[in-house]
Chains A and B, each alone.
Chain A
Amino acid sequence: DTAVSQTPKYLVTQMGNDKSIKCEQNLGHDTMYWYKQDSKKFLKIMFSYNNKELIINETVPNRFSPKSPDKAHLNLHINSLELGDSAVYFCASSQTNRGGNLKFSPLHFGNGTRLTVT
């Protein structure tokens, strides 16, 4: 199936641990994102990568380190987890249109990883 897939779907861990979330898209897109959804369902961008290059970093603590081995994958590693990191993390992808009157390409989202830090 063509999709944005992320693993794991659920992640429960203790404070201070280090964990990773993986994301893969087979839509042929060149841009991938990490969004965080808090307990009030608010969605906020964390990072954006275009062709493996970091484009957007929205003042996220440096405990969060994204890594893009190729344009189809964007992983998120989190060091020294804190209680406030508990949230649902969504990976997304899109195809960037550059210049001219090309339309903005909407984001396609994965189904999320629910991270619970105890």
Chain B
Amino acid sequence: GQQLNQSPQSMFIQEGEDVSMNCTSSSIFNTWLWYKQDPGEGPVLLIALYKAGELTSNGRLTAQFGITRKDSFLNISASIPSDVGIYFCAGNAGGTSYGKLTFGQGTILTVHP
């Protein structure tokens, strides 16, 4: 089946630093999504990407849909303490997959004030 490899698994950074994480897939996806999960809550959508090469920003967050359609990255600039959480990439293969998302393993982000 489809698999997503997300890296790094965890990051410990100082407030104000930039962060970068990425996902690679063994197969092509038509849509890439990035979610954030806070403790005790469900994943919340950060950015959705729909076209190969697409670069999209949401405040301090920027994500790109890789040209090969097998990878995506997420950058967070000027990190702040509330950026702490688990970040997940997720992909949808399109067609009749009816919204089935394949998730990466997550990146645990810790921001030291």
Contact = CB atoms under 8 A, between A and B. Distances in A.
Interface of A: 4, 31, 33, 40-45, 48, 50, 55-56, 90, 92, 94, 96, 103-112
Given A40-B105, A43-B103, A112-B41, A48 B98 contact: yes
Contacts of B65: none
**9 A-B pairs closest in CB distance:** A109-B42, A104-B31, A43-B103, A55-B98, A94-B99, A111-B42, A41-B106, A106-B45, A109-B43
A107 B88 CA distance: 13
B73 to A, nearest CB: 18
Interface in B76-98: 86, 88, 90, 92, 94, 98
A106 B98 CA distance: 11
Interface of B: 30-31, 33, 35, 37, 40-45, 48, 50, 86, 88, 90, 92, 94, 98-101, 103, 105-106, 108
A30 to B, nearest CB: 10
Contacts of B108: 41
Given A90-B42, A106-B33, A48 B99 contact: yes
A48 B100 CA distance: 8
A84 to B, nearest CB: 19
Contacts of A33: 99
B98 A31 contact: yes
B106 A103 contact: no
A108 B46 CA distance: 11
Given A42-B103, A44-B103, A104-B31, A96 B45 contact: no
B100 A42 contact: no
